[in-house]
C-alpha cells in the first residue's frame, strides 16, 4: 500500500546545527534549522552545539528503571550503528545522562539538553525519563552510520492530557503477539500511554479463562467470516479462531509496562456476548442454542440480567482478568445492548419488579452497577462506553464517549472522568481517503487533517467541568482489517496526528508545521517497517461554489515540487496532460481526473470525480435539520455540488440522519420554469439505513409561500434511489425538499427498536 521513500543525506546547516532526521519524500525541503519532533514539545529551542555519538559514548543510568530505559535506547541504536553503548553509573563527558527527579508539577514531563559533550535527560518521574529518551531517538539521524550527530537542543516538555490511548479490536480479526508488541512499540514512540485491548465480542472470545475452558475451546472459534461489503452478505466458508493464553497476556502486559503503557482489557457486557453464550448457553435469556457470530453488526442475544449465574460467571471471569492486568481500570463495554430479549424474558422482568426498576434501561444500569460494586471491592474501577449513562450512571464509572461528544459532556457535568473517542474524529476504521483504490472500510471519512483538528475538551464545558476530560483515544474495529499491515495502514499517520492532539499544548499546534515534520517522521516509520498511508501527499480536490451557480474544483498537494496534471474528459492524467495552475470551473457534465507527479512518477492515488450538471448545481442550500456528525459532509453546499454518491454507506457525500427527518431549501438565481425535481437516497436495511416514508417537493417564488408540486411514498425500496419527479407549468425560485424518516426499525430486522438511518444527497433541479 505504500512505497518506501529514499533517504537523503543529512546536511550541515548554518550555526553548526544538524538536522536529526532528514529522510523524506524525494525533492522535499525541510525548513532550515528545524528540530523535527512529534509530538511537538511544550518548549523546544535549537542550540548552536552538536553532540557526536560514537562507540566511546557512555549511557549513564544509576537506577534500575533508568538502566531499563537505557537498554531500550541501545536496542534502537544498534539498528542504526551496529553497536550498543556501555551503560555506566556515572559520567560527565561524551555521555548521555538519564536522571529521574521527583517533581509532581507535571507528571510524565522531562527536560532534555544536548550540548557539545553531554546530553542530559531529566524526567519529572520515570515515565518522563522514558519520554525524554523517545525524544532523543527522534533527534538521531535516520540513516545508518558508525557516528551520529545529535543537534544541540534545550527542551522542556510534558503532556496536555493524562490518558493518551489506542484501542485494538482482536475479536473480529485476531493478531499474533509479535504484532501486538509492535503496536505497543509504536504507541511508545508517539508518547501514548494506554493500550485498550478489546478481547471479547460476538465474533470471538480471545482470552484464556481457566475456570471456563469452553471460552477458549468453543467461544474463540467461528465457522466462517463475512467477506466483502456488508450488503453482499457473502461468507468465506472458512473456520476462524484464536485466543491469547494467560502466559501470552502476562508477556504483553510486562512488555507494555516496560514502555510505560497501561493495558486496559475489555470484557464486553451485557451485550456483544454471543461468543460467550455459545460456550455457556445457560447464561442467555433463551437458553440457546447459540452460534459464534459470523457477520458484523449487533446481535439481540445478551447476558440474562435476571439470572444470578450470569453475575457469578462474570465475577469469576473478572477475577482471572484482574490477576492478569494490574492496572486500575477494567473496561466492561456496555454498548449496543439490545433490550428485546430482556423485554420477553421472565427472569429479567422479575428482576425489574423485584428491584423496583423503571424499565429495561434501568435494568442495564442495575447490571453495570452490580459489576462495578464487585470490581470496586477489589480495588478496581470500570470504564464503559457512553451507553452506561442510560438508566443512571454507575457511581465511580469512567465514561468513554464514542457516539459523538454529548455523552462525554453529560458525564463531565456529573463530575465523572471522561475519555473522548467520538466517531466523528477518532474511529480509524473509517476511510481516510476518497481514492477509488482504498481498501474496503466500514464507512465514514476521517482524513489526517480532521484528526489533527480535534480538541478533546468540548466548548460546552466550563473550566471546572473540563478537568474531568482525562484525554482521548482512537479506536480500530477490525471487521474489514485482516492483518497487521492493514492495521498499520489504517492507524498511521493518523495516530501520529493524535499523539500531537493529546500531548502538545493547544496553542502550539499548527497543521502546516506538523506536515513538514511528518515528512521527516515518515523515515522513522520506514526504519520500523510501518505500512503507513501516504494520502497526505497525494493530490487533493476541493469542490467549492459561490451560491450563484459557479462551482470550481481546486487541487493541492503537500508534496514539495510535485506537479499536478488533470483531464476533463475522463481520460487518465499523465505527466503530459494539462498542468494545473488555477481552479477548474464546472459548467457542464464531465469527469475530472487529476494526479500529482514527481520526476514523471505518480505519487499516491489520483482524484477521479464525475459531475452531473443541472439548474441547482452551485446554488445556495439552507439546511433546516442538522445531520448526524458522523455522516455530515461538512457543508450544505454539497447537496448541490453536482456529485451523485455511490451506492455504499461509506460514500462521504451522504447526509445521514439517525431517527430524524431531512429538510432543506435550495435557492435558484431567479424565478424560472422548473420541469423536474429530484433527490438521491440510499437504503441498506442490513446497516439500518432505510428509504424515507415519504419525500415531498414544494416550490415558492418568494421563499415564504410554498406549493407542493411532487410527492413520493416508499414501500420497500433498497439500494441507490435516484428519485426524479417531473412537474408541469411550475415556476419558482425556491425548492423545498422534505424527507420523512422511516421511524423505529421493526422487530426481527437488524437494529430492531432503534431509529432508522435516513441517507440523502444531491437535490436535482431541471
Tally of CA atoms within 13 A in the half-sphere of 183 that contains its CB:
29
Give residue 16's pLDDT band: very low, low, confident or very high (50, 70, 90). very low
Answer whether residue 379 shows pLDDT above 70. Answer: yes
Question: Angle between the 308-324 and 246-258 helix axes, to the nearest 10 degrees?
Answer: 50
Q: What is the pLDDT confidence band of residue 34, given thresholds at 50, 70 and 90?
A: low
Say which residues have a Cβ less than 8 Å from residue 675's Cβ, sequence separation at least 6: 726, 727, 728, 730, 766
Residues near 213 by Cβ (< 8 Å), separated by ≥ 6? none
Average of per-residue pLDDT across 38-49: 94
pLDDT beyond 60 at 17 = no
Q: Is the pLDDT of residue 31 over 70?
A: no
pLDDT band at 423 (very low <50, low <70, confident <90, very high): very high
Please give the DSSP secondary-structure letter assigned to residue 391. Answer: T
Please give the pLDDT value at position 371: 96
* pLDDT, position 30: 37
Q: Are 21 and 142 in contact (CB under 8 A)?
A: yes
pLDDT(26) > 90: no
CA distance 310 to 284: 8
Give residue 283's Cα distance to chain centre: 33
Count CB-CB contacts under 10 A for residue 55: 12
For residues 293 and 203, is the Cβ–Cβ distance under 8 A?
Answer: yes
- Phi/psi-derived region of residue 78, left when phi > 0, alpha when psi is between -120 and 50, beta in every other case: alpha
Please give the Cα distance from 665 to 738 (Å, whole number): 9
Statement: residue 29 has pLDDT above 70: no
In angstroms, the CA 138 to CA 94 distance is 19
Rounded to an integer, what distance in angstroms lies between the CA atom of residue 760 and that of residue 756? 13
- Judge whether residue 35 has pLDDT over 80: yes
Give residue for cell 532523543.
136
Task: Dump pLDDT digits (tens) for 47-97.
Answer: 888 999 999 999 999 999 999 999 999 999 998 899 999 999 998 899 999
* Mean confidence (pLDDT) of the chain: 91
pLDDT band at 1 (very low <50, low <70, confident <90, very high): very low
**DSSP3 helix / strand / coil % (the chain, rounded to 5):** 25, 30, 45
Neighbours of 644 (CB within 10 A): 17
Other CB atoms within a 10 A radius of the CB of residue 181 amount to: 15
Which sequence positions are flagged as catalytic?
201, 272, 336
Residue 259's pLDDT is 97
- Judged against a pLDDT cut of 50, whether residue 738 lies above it is answered with yes
Per-residue model confidence as pLDDT tens digits over 210-257: 999 999 999 999 999 999 988 788 999 999 999 999 999 999 999 999
Confidence band for 19, pLDDT divided at 50, 70 and 90? very low
pLDDT band of residue 629 (cuts 50, 70, 90) is confident
Q: What is the mean pLDDT of residues 272-276?
A: 98
Among residues 242, 267, 265, 339, the alpha carbon closest in space to that of 298 is found at 339
DSSP 689: B
pLDDT of res. 86: 96
Q: Retrieve residue 103's grid coordinates.
A: 517533581
Nine-digit cell string for 141? 539521524
Distance CA 642, CA 562 (A): 28
Arithmetic mean of pLDDT, 115-139? 96
pLDDT of res. 547? 66
Mean pLDDT of 455-480: 97
**Any residues with CB less than 8 A from the CB of 583 and at least 6 apart, and which?**
544, 552, 553, 554
Amino acid at each position: 500500500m505504500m512505497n518506501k521513500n529514499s533517504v537523503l543525506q543529512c546536511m550541515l546547516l548554518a550555526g553548526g546545527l544538524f538536522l536529526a532526521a532528514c529522510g523524506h519524500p524525494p525533492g522535499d525541503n525541510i525548513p532550515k534549522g528545524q528540530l523535527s519532533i512529534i509530538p511537538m514539545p511544550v518548549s523546544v529551542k535549537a542550540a548552536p552545539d552538536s553532540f557526536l555519538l560514537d562507540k566511546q559514548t557512555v549511557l549513564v543510568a544509576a537506577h534500575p528503571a533508568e538502566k531499563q530505559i537505557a537498554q531500550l535506547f541501545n536496542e534502537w541504536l544498534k539498528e542504526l550503528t551496529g553497536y550498543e553503548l556501555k551503560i555506566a553509573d556515572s559520567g560527565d563527558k561524551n555521555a548521555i545522562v538519564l536522571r529521574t527527579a521527583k517533581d509532581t508539577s507535571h507528571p510524565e514531563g522531562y527536560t532534555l539538553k544536548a550540548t557539545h559533550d553531554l546530553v542530559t535527560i531529566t524526567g519529572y518521574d520515570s515515565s518522563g525519563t522514558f519520554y525524554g529518551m523517545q525524544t532523543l531517538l527522534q533527534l538521531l539521524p535516520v540513516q545508518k552510520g558508525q557516528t551520529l550527530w545529535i543537534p544541540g537542543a534545550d527542551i522542556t516538555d510534558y503532556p496536555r492530557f493524562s490518558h493518551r490511548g489506542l484501542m485494538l479490536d482482536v475479536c473480529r480479526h485476531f493478531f499474533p503477539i509479535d504484532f501486538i508488541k509492535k503496536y505497543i512499540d509504536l504507541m511508545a514512540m508517539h508518547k501514548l500511554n494506554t493500550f485498550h485491548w478489546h478481547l471479547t465480542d460476538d465474533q470471538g472470545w480471545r482470552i484464556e479463562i481457566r475456570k471456563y475452558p469452553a471460552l477458549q475451546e468453543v467461544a474463540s472459534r467461528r465457522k466462517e467470516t463475512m467477506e466483502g461489503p456488508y450488503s453482499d452478505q457473502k461468507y468465506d466458508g472458512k473456520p476462524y479462531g484464536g485466543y491469547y493464553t494467560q502466559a501470552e497476556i502476562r508477556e504483553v502486559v510486562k512488555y507494555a509496562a516496560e514502555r510505560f503503557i497501561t493495558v486496559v482489557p475489555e470484557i464486553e457486557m451485557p451485550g456483544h456476548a454471543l461468543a460467550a453464550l455459545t460456550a455457556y448457553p445457560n447464561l442467555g435469556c433463551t437458553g440457546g442454542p447459540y452460534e459464534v457470530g459470523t457477520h458484523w453488526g449487533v446481535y439481540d442475544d445478551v447476558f440474562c440480567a435476571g439470572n444470578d449465574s450470569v453475575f457469578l460467571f462474570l465475577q469469576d471471569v473478572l477475577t482471572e482478568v484482574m490477576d492478569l492486568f494490574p492496572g486500575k481500570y477494567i473496561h466492561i463495554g456496555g454498548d449496543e445492548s439490545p433490550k428485546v430479549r430482556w423485554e420477553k424474558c421472565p427472569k429479567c422482568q422479575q428482576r425489574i419488579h423485584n428491584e423496583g426498576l423503571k424499565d429495561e434501561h434501568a435494568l442495564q444500569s442495575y447490571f453495570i452497577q452490580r459489576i462495578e460494586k464487585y470490581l470496586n471491592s477489589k480495588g478496581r474501577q470500570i470504564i464503559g462506553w457512553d451507553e452506561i449513562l442510560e438508566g443512571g450512571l454507575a457511581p465511580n464509572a469512567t465514561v468513554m464517549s464514542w457516539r459523538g461528544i454529548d455523552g462525554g459532556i453529560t458525564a463531565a457535568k456529573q463530575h465523572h472522568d471522561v475519555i473522548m473517542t467520538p466517531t466523528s474524529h477518532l474511529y480509524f476504521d473509517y476511510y481516510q481517503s476518497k481514492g477509488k483504490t482504498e481498501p474496503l472500510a466500514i464507512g465514514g471519512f476521517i482524513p489526517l487533517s480532521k484528526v489533527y483538528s480535534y480538541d478533546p475538551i468540548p466548548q460546552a464545558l466550563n473550566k471546572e467541568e473540563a478537568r474531568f476530560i482525562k484525554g482521548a483515544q482512537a479506536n480500530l474495529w477490525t471487521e474489514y482489517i485482516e492483518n497487521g499491515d492493514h492495521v498499520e495502514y489504517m492507524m498511521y499517520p493518523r495516530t501520529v496526528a493524535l499523539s500531537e492532539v493529546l500531548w502538545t499544548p493547544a496553542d502550539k499546534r499548527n497543521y502546516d508545521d506538523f506536515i513538514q515534520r511528518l515528512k521527516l517522521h515518515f523515515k522513522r516509520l520506514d526504519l520500523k517497517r510501518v505500512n503507513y498511508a501516504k494520502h497526505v501527499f497525494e493530490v487533493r480536490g476541493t469542490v467549492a461554489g459561490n451560491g450563484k451557480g459557479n462551482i470550481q474544483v481546486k487541487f493541492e498537494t503537500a508534496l514539495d515540487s510535485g506537479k499536478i496534471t488533470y483531464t476533463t474528459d475522463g481520460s487518465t492524467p499523465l505527466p503530459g496532460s494539462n498542468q494545473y495552475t488555477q481552479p477548474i470551473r464546472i459548467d457542464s457534465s464531465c469527469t475530472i481526473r487529476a494526479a500529482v507527479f514527481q520526476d514523471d512518477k505518480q505519487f499516491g492515488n489520483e482524484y477521479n470525480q464525475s459531475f452531473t450538471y443541472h439548474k441547482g448545481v452551485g446554488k445556495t442550500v439552507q439546511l433546516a435539520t442538522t445531520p448526524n456528525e458522523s455522516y455530515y459532509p461538512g457543508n450544505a453546499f454539497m447537496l448541490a455540488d453536482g456529485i451523485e454518491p455511490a451506492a455504499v454507506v461509506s460514500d462521504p457525500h451522504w447526509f445521514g440522519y439517525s431517527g430524524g427527518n431531512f429538510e432543506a431549501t435550495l435557492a435558484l438565481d431567479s424565478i424560472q420554469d422548473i420541469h423536474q425535481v429530484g433527490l438521491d437516497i440510499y437504503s441498506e436495511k442490513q446497516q439500518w439505513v432505510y428509504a424515507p416514508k415519504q419525500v415531498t417537493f414544494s416550490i415558492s417564488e418568494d421563499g415564504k409561500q410554498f406549493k407542493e408540486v411532487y410527492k413520493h411514498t416508499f414501500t420497500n425500496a433498497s439500494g441507490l434511489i435516484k428519485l426524479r419527479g417531473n412537474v408541469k407549468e411550475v415556476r419558482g425560485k425556491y425548492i423545498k425538499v422534505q424527507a420523512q424518516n422511516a421511524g423505529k426499525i421493526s422487530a426481527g430486522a437488524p437494529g430492531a427498536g432503534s431509529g432508522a438511518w435516513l441517507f440523502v444527497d444531491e437535490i436535482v433541479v431541471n
